[in-house]
């Protein structure tokens, strides 16, 4: 059901410093900051030959990233995102297997302009999983 790894998301306490580190130290192709109000984050994508890194920074006081950074002040891996061809079929299959879909269970539009869902980390070995329809 899952396809390729779309990205690994890293929550960071300083978005510009993290972007500069990837740009300068690693020579990566770093995108521009992008506010995602529906998800409470500002993101920057780092383009790699085989996938992407998504830097996450809180957008507002209600951002879910605030709690993560309180527990992990230096930042850290927040989630992994896998591609799926049909997000509704994937959601329905996962629910049948006992996996919990976060939020309302209905896809939201993600940072790439495509439907996304998040799966409860307790159902996936402590890892928050994002699914993105391609």
**Residues annotated as part of the active site:** 130
For residue 106, give the nearest of 116, 114, 98, 96 by alpha carbon: 116
Question: Residue 42 in contact with residue 35, Cβ under 8 Å?
Answer: yes
The rounded distance, in Å, linking the Cα atoms of 69 and 124 is: 21
**Percent of the chain as helix, strand, coil, to the nearest 5:** 25, 35, 40
Question: Residue 91 in contact with residue 133, Cβ under 8 Å?
Answer: no
Question: Residue 90 in contact with residue 84, Cβ under 8 Å?
Answer: yes
- Which residue(s) pair with 93 in the sheet? none
């Amino acid at each position: 059901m899952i396809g390729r790894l779309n990205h690994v998301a890293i929550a960071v306490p300083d978005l510009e410093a993290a972007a500069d580190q990837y740009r300068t130290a690693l020579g990566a192709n770093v995108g521009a900051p992008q506010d995602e109000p529906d998800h409470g984050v500002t993101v920057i994508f780092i383009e790699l030959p085989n996938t992407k890194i998504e830097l996450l920074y809180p957008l507002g006081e209600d951002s879910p990233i605030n709690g993560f950074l309180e527990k992990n002040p230096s930042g850290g891996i927040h989630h992994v995102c896998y591609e799926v061809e049909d997000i509704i079929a994937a959601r329905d299959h996962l629910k049948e297997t006992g996996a919990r879909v976060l939020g309302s269970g209905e896809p939201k539009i993600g940072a790439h302009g495509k439907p996304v869902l998040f799966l409860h980390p307790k159902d996936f070995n402590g890892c928050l999983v994002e699914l993105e329809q391609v």
